[in-house]
Amino acid sequence: MTSHTPVPHLTDPTVLVTLVGPDQKGVSTRLFGVLDGFDLEVIDVEQLVVRGQLVLSVLVTDPGEDTPLEEKVRELGASLNLTVTLERGVGDNRPRRVGRAQVVILGAPMRPHALAALTAQIRADHGNIDRIVRMARYPVTAIRMEVSGADPDVLQASLARVAYEQGVDVAVQENGILRHAQRLVVMDVDSTLVQGEVIEMLAAHAGCEAEVAEVTERAMRGELDFAQSLHERVARLAGVPASALDEVYDSLSYAPGARTMIRTLKRLGYRFALVSGGFTPIIEKIAAELGIDYYRANDLEVVDGALTGKVLGEVVDRAGKARALREFAADAGIPVKNTVAIGDGANDLDMLAAAGLGIAFNAKPTVRDQARTSVNVPYLDTIVYLMGITREEVEAADAADGR
């Protein structure tokens, strides 16, 4: 016959023991050693160290006021130069309310007034901040808050507005087990994964870069139909040697942090896809170089070693990008709610809306305003903080690989 230790009831008396002061070796060991001298059970433990200052809290069942618990803990605190508080109450921590969400704030720099405004908004949305931790100090400061009691969709809308006013970025994701599942990351290429627009680099070979750049800018702002604008721009490339595609590929520069983001998330089993309004000969080389699992782009007609100025087949436009995301997710066996889409232009909006997490990365204003999440710093690896990964974890993994 198996015996079971009774589980503490929510109405059982408890004591919260908190030690605050200079961090030093062995504090938790010595505190648990003191507690072990009493008939009690540990219910919860939290420890935090900031700039060498320790906050250690232990919630235990109350062994009774007639025991020397408080005396022994205060003796320990005095010997370690730590401030001690004991708070008697009833039961476990207050039950966490419905509406659990993860709020990640990115700032470069992170100012107190921004955090004050965002935390005030969380309170106004009936949220409670259960925990705050730092995810990264550079290249941006990233702070993660665990929030309960507020509707994640309401938080997303209200905090996005406040973040824009305060000059920081914010992302809200509903907490749950699916947040830890394998994901598919689908990225735009031009001005997202790579710096600049490939079609403008090709246009430089035809001597019409300025004209093509103007059309590109209007298309990215959503002022022109993308497919129509692509045909118009590609027509100007007629006669450009096909070898220019190789030259453009050789000259590409990836966004800062792009390789770090891909390398880090692939370690965790994430899949990657590129969906581009650019051109297959370049996109397929990028995919091979970075170990990308899927890609889709536009095909250019080449005759006698030169571009004809025509696009072959169906254009990968705004609707086509969203369709590709769903198709890649189905092929990978990953639910669409576990996809992440990253883009900067109006033709990315359907893809951003279809994904479980759509991120406007250094996007045009019309895209930033419509996307659920916006990142306005130039570092693509900040995306990993939204996935719950810290800078320290990234560096430790790289160090283990000898990087």
Q: Which two tokens stand for residue 37?
A: 């001298």
- For residue 311, what is the enclosing H or E element? strand 306-312
Please tell me whether residue 69 adopts helix, strand or coil conformation. helix
Q: Contact at 8 Å (CB) between 286 and 274? A: yes
d(CA 25, CA 30): 10
Chain centre to alpha carbon of residue 34: 41
Active site residue: 125, 188, 317, 381, which one?
Answer: 188
Q: Is 225 a catalytic residue?
A: no
Distance CA 257, CA 378 (A): 9
User: Whole-angstrom Cα distance, residue 84 to residue 21?
Assistant: 9
Contacts 24+ apart (CB under 8 A), 65-69: 67/38, 69/15, 69/35, 69/38, 69/40
Provide the total of helices (H) and of strands (E) in the chain, helices listed first: 15, 15
Cβ atoms of 129 and 149 within 8 Å: the answer is no
> Does the active-site annotation cover 130?
no
Q: In 195-317, where does DSSP find H-type helix?
A: 198-206, 209-220, 226-235, 243-251, 258-267, 280-290
Catalytic residue among 125, 169, 190, 350: 190
**Which residues form the catalytic set?**
188, 190
